Amino acid sequence: MAYVAQAERFPVSVNIVFLRVVIPFIIWIAGKPAGGAEMATFEIKDAGSCKWDEVSLGEVMIRLDPGEGRVHTSRQFTAWEGGGEYNVARGLRRCFGLRTALVTAIVDNGVGRLLEDLILQGGVDMRHVKWVGFDGIGKAARNGLNFCERGFGVRGAVSTSDRGHTAISQTKPGDFDWEKIFGEEGARWFHCGGIFAALGAQTPEVAIEALKTAKKYGTITSYDLNYRASLWKEIGGPERAMEVNREIAKYVDVMIGNEEDFTKALGFKVEGLDENCAKLDTGNFKKMIEKAVAEFPNFKAVATTLRGVKTATINDWGAILYTGGEFYEAKTFPALEIFDRVGGGDSFASGLAYGFLAGKEPAQIINYGCVHGALAMTTPGDTTMASLAEVEKLVGGGSARVDR
């Protein structure tokens, strides 16, 4: 009542001006990120207008896992499929029930058909996979292998890739029909990343071709920087990685990465980090994100995971999302017990994408990403084994008490 009485002291015309002009202006100013750069806004296509909820472009390898042993002493390996970009599509399909498709190239031999079998078990559509003929020995093109130890205690996880001259690394612009995928079929979300961009001489151009076409048809584009020193070592190191990724970043709506990714792939340093990233100051991460958004105002959202590594099997885990000029922090998992950390960031990315696609609020979106990533690291392999019910239980404040 006091507010109404105060308002009645002013003429009606003044009140109308205040409501129609002043308040919207204040909201607009408040929504601008630091540095004066105005952040882009989201418009996600309706599911009914698209064949695909999400499409991923990237390599899929056979992961050979020695279990609790070491690669150099093991006599048996479990075969999984995995790839930074593919893992996002699989997570969205298997955990979140969305319609996803894969764009990649695979050599047509027994290893390639094993990849096909594993991918189809995950429910990801393969109609846009380019099958490449096998020359009998894999000299012209081959399928990649990834020997991966999960680590334990003071022994960190180790990945040894055997992926030179793979079929996908040799792709070039024009190899995939992006007009069909984004124009005729339609996709709500497109995901690619820095692993694919590092694979070959022309893979950055393929990524840009895809991103441009996606944006032409109103598809949201996401990109996980996923800096891998081993991939860039022989082709220019961090300098080349930064050159490539800064060009690709111009066409990205949702940028994803951790502290190393943003530093070495985009050139935005997080201040105050020690060499082992044992202590993570969210304030310094926020400053870094504000700089990135100011330089790339096309970013509609920026998300970063926060991983404090105590041991290979004990990590502090959290995440930050910046969208609409506001920061949102996920619920944290201090001293999270890790079974297999590989693929945790990809599951974070798929949970984040799901949050946006499902129309969740930003505070929920970052928690879907963080929780899904945490759950994925409790099981072996690159890809998620979590269910939507499990994710939503933890997002809603549930615990690990037994369900009976």
- pLDDT score at 403: 74
Tokens 């960190």, located at residue: 156
- As for how many domains the chain has, the answer is 1
> Does any domain span residue 3?
no
SS (HEC) of the chain: CHHHHHHCCCCHHHHHHHHHHHHHHHHHHHCCCHHHCCCCCCCCCCHHHCCEEEEEECCCEEEEECCCCCCCCCCCCEEEEECCCHHHHHHHHHCCCCCEEEECEEECCHHHHHHHHHHHHCCCECCCCEEECCCCCCCCCECCEEEEECCECCECCEEEEECCCECHHHCCCCCCCHHHHHHHHCEEEEEEEHHHHCCCCCHHHHHHHHHHHHHHCCCEEEEECCCCHHHHHHHCHHHHHHHHHHHHHHHCCEEEECHHHHHHHHCCCCCCCCCCCCCCCHHHHHHHHHHHHHHCCCCCEEEEEEEEEEECCEEEEEEEEEECCEEEECCCEEEEECCCCCCHHHHHHHHHHHHHHCCCCHHHHHHHHHHHHHHHCCCCCCCCCCCHHHHHHHHCCCCCCCCC
And the tokens for 372?
């899904």
CB 64 within 8 A of CB 112: no
Distance CA 80, CA 64 (A): 7
pLDDT in tens, the chain (404 residues): 333 333 334 344 444 444 454 444 444 344 444 443 444 568 999 999 999 999 999 999 999 999 999 999 999 999 999 999 999 999 999 999 999 999 999 999 999 999 999 999 999 999 999 999 999 999 999 999 999 999 999 999 999 999 999 999 999 999 999 999 999 999 999 999 999 999 999 999 999 999 999 999 999 999 999 999 999 999 999 999 999 999 999 999 999 999 889 999 999 988 877 666 556 788 999 999 999 999 999 999 999 999 999 999 999 999 999 999 999 999 999 999 999 999 999 999 999 999 999 999 999 999 999 999 999 999 999 999 999 999 999 999 988 776 76
Amino acid identity, residue 225? L
Q: Residue 367's domain is classified under what CATH number?
A: 3.40.1190.20
> Does any domain span residue 87?
yes
Task: Spell out the residues 6+ positions from residue 14 whose beta carbon is closer than 8 angstroms to its own.
Answer: none
- Comparing CA positions, the residue from 2, 106, 92 lying closest to residue 53 is 92
Mean pLDDT for the chain?
90
- pLDDT score at 11: 47
Amino acid identity, residue 99? R
Amino acid identity, residue 134? F
- pLDDT score at 274: 66
- What does the pLDDT look like over 56-97, one tens digit per residue? 999 999 999 999 999 999 999 999 999 999 999 999 999 999
Amino acid identity, residue 367? N
> Does any domain span residue 381?
yes
> Does any domain span residue 38?
no
> Does any domain span residue 400?
no
> Does any domain span residue 71?
yes
> Does any domain span residue 34?
no
- Residue 123 CA, chain-centre distance (Å), reads 19
- What does the pLDDT look like over 265-309, one tens digit per residue? 999 988 877 666 556 788 999 999 999 999 999 999 999 999 999
> Does any domain span residue 280?
yes
And the tokens for 65?
């896992």
The pTM assigned to this predicted structure is: 0.89
- What does the pLDDT look like over 383-395, one tens digit per residue? 999 999 999 999 9
- pLDDT score at 7: 37
Q: Which residues of 150-172 are buried (b: 16+ CB within 10 A; e: fewer)?
A: bbeeeeeeeeebebeebbbbbbe
Q: Which residues of 52-62 are buried (b: 16+ CB within 10 A; e: fewer)?
A: bbbbbbbbbbb
Domain that holds residue 170: 49-395
Tokens 């009976």, located at residue: 404
- pLDDT score at 400: 77
